[in-house]
Amino acid sequence: MSKTIVITGGAGFIGSHVVRLFVTKYPSYQIVNLDALTYAGNLENIRDIEKSPNYNFEKQNILDVEGLDALFAKYNPDGVIHLAAESHVDRSIVSPLDFVYTNVIGTVNLLNAAKKAWQGSFQDRRFYHVSTDEVYGALGQTGFFTESTRYDPHSPYSASKAASDHFVRAYHDTYSLPIVLSNCSNNYGPYHFPEKLIPLFINNIIQKKPLPVYGDGLYTRDWLFVKDHALAIDLVFHQGKPGETYNIGGFNEWKNIELVKLLCKLMDEKLGNSPGTSEKLITYVKDRPGHDRRYAIDATKISSELGWKPSVTFEQGLGLTIDWYLENTEWLKHVTSGEYQQYYTKQYQS
Ligand code: NAD
Ligand code: TYD
């Protein structure tokens, strides 16, 4: 069956994997990549599929209401998969309002555009909002986030994502908009912007720069290979029940310091360094304010209802990721020039 789907944030990290999956797996669909190309958006991330006949790119900011209406009129999409966001916790601590604008107001603009364009005719329409496990706040040593865990965000990033989730559900309850939502754990993989832990540390090991571990390094995250998240998004988009939420996670918890040591070991092997070389770069630095101690997802619902599970182990995924960064030094050079240098100096050398 033919469909037209608008994917927002398709030039970013996760969005580029979702766009690639949909363009290649569904040749009968028209895929519209809507992206404002902020510092995190990069058309190099989807260069390999940009000539596909079912791929369309629209440079569009979700804060521009008229632009969104015009885009919905032009394409009359059957579905929206919304990933565009400001996504980095550290940047949200410095500039919270940017997160309110894009993540909250931008999401409401998109909901309004869909509601207006679809004019109450919701048969076979779908608005899919992609969110994060960070909305649930922090766990202690035990327990997992389920779909019914109470929201308790602590960073401006997670607060803005929590607000956007509430608006998406409100549009379902108030206007019957056929929404579906997922909350996922930390992703890693190719095309990850090197401001987040794993790509930042891979880049710093290549550059022989210090590896800045926040606080005591005992913070825990659940890591998922980005291509497995894209496959989960495909399932939720096509088979998720309207109005429902699905938690997505890797069943893969790591304390930051243990993860960094594994990364150092794998990097030493790939680079032909003697064992222990990269670990010497580990430097404990001032903690992140409001730092959540532990995230862990219970992904039973998506697993039992939709049959999803991660396809690679963490060691496999991390190996693939490191290989990709070592083979794509030009990409890394491009994204770490310009604004990135100013960001890095401000964040780590002040
Ligand atoms: P990213 O920062 O790599 O990409 C965000 C994309 O959105 C970029 O291409 C950017 O240009 C675009 N964008 C930003 N502001 C925009 C605006 N105002 N209008 C239009 N486009 C705009 O983010 P990501 O890591 O790929 O995350 C994608 C989504 O997944 C986000 O909603 C994020 O909250 C969610 N998420 C991320 C993770 C993770 O580990 N990265 C985990 C769970 C959920
Ligand atoms: P990050 O990749 O920013 O993802 P999130 O904050 O969304 O979980 O950070 C992952 C973990 O790594 C988090 O506990 C913070 C920590 N961290 C560091 O210790 N040093 C760093 O330089 C960065 C960017 C993160």
Q: Report residues whose beta carbon is within 6 angstroms of any ligand 2 atom.
A: 89, 186, 196-197, 200, 212-214, 219, 221, 256, 288
Q: Residue 74 is encoded by which pair of tokens?
A: 């032009």
In a domain, 277, yes or no: no
In a domain, 7, yes or no: yes
User: Can you give the pLDDT at residue 120?
Assistant: 83
CA of 87 to the centre of ligand 1 (A): 5
Q: What's the mean per-residue pLDDT of the chain?
A: 97
Positions marked catalytic: 133-134, 157
In a domain, 100, yes or no: yes
In a domain, 255, yes or no: no
pLDDT in tens, 218-228: 999 999 999 99
Q: Residue 34 is encoded by which pair of tokens?
A: 């809507």
- Nearest ligand 1 atom, CA 14: 26
- Nearest ligand 2 atom, CA 134: 7
Residue 51: pLDDT band with limits 50, 70, 90: very high
Instruction: State whether residue 253 is helix, strand or coil.
Output: strand
Q: What is the mean pLDDT of residues 102-113?
A: 98
Q: What is the mean pLDDT of residues 63-71?
A: 98
- Residue 172 makes CB contacts below 8 A (sequence gap 6+) with 178, 179, 242, 243
Q: Report residues whose beta carbon is within 6 angstroms of any ligand 1 atom.
A: 9, 11-15, 35-38, 40-41, 61-63, 83-87, 102, 106, 130-132, 161, 184, 186-187, 193
Residue 181 structural domain: 3-190+224-250+296-311
CA–CA dist 184, 82 (Å, integer): 14
In a domain, 201, yes or no: no
Report which DSSP code applies to 103. Answer: I
In a domain, 205, yes or no: no
Q: Does the pTM exceed 0.95?
A: yes
pLDDT in tens, 253-271: 999 999 999 999 999 999 9
CA–CA dist 254, 295 (Å, integer): 10
Among the bound ligands, the one closest to the CA of 196: 2
CA–CA dist 92, 41 (Å, integer): 17
User: Can you give the pLDDT at residue 284?
Assistant: 98
CA–CA dist 159, 99 (Å, integer): 9
Report how many domains make up the chain. Answer: 1
Residue 350, pLDDT above cutoff 80: no
In a domain, 284, yes or no: no
- Kindly tell me the burial class for residue 257, based on how many C-beta atoms sit within 10 Å of its own C-beta (0-12, 13-18, 19 or more): middle
CA–CA dist 170, 330 (Å, integer): 44
Among the bound ligands, the one closest to the CA of 161: 1
Residue 120's domain is classified under what CATH number? 3.40.50.720
- Nearest ligand 2 atom, CA 288: 15
The pick from 7, 8, 13, 20 for probing ligand 1's pocket by mutation, whose C-beta has the most ligand atoms within 8 angstroms, reads: 13
CB of 110 within 8 A of CB of 82?
A: yes
In a domain, 173, yes or no: yes
User: Can you give the pLDDT at residue 19?
Assistant: 98
pLDDT in tens, 299-338: 999 999 999 999 999 999 999 999 999 999 999 999 998 8
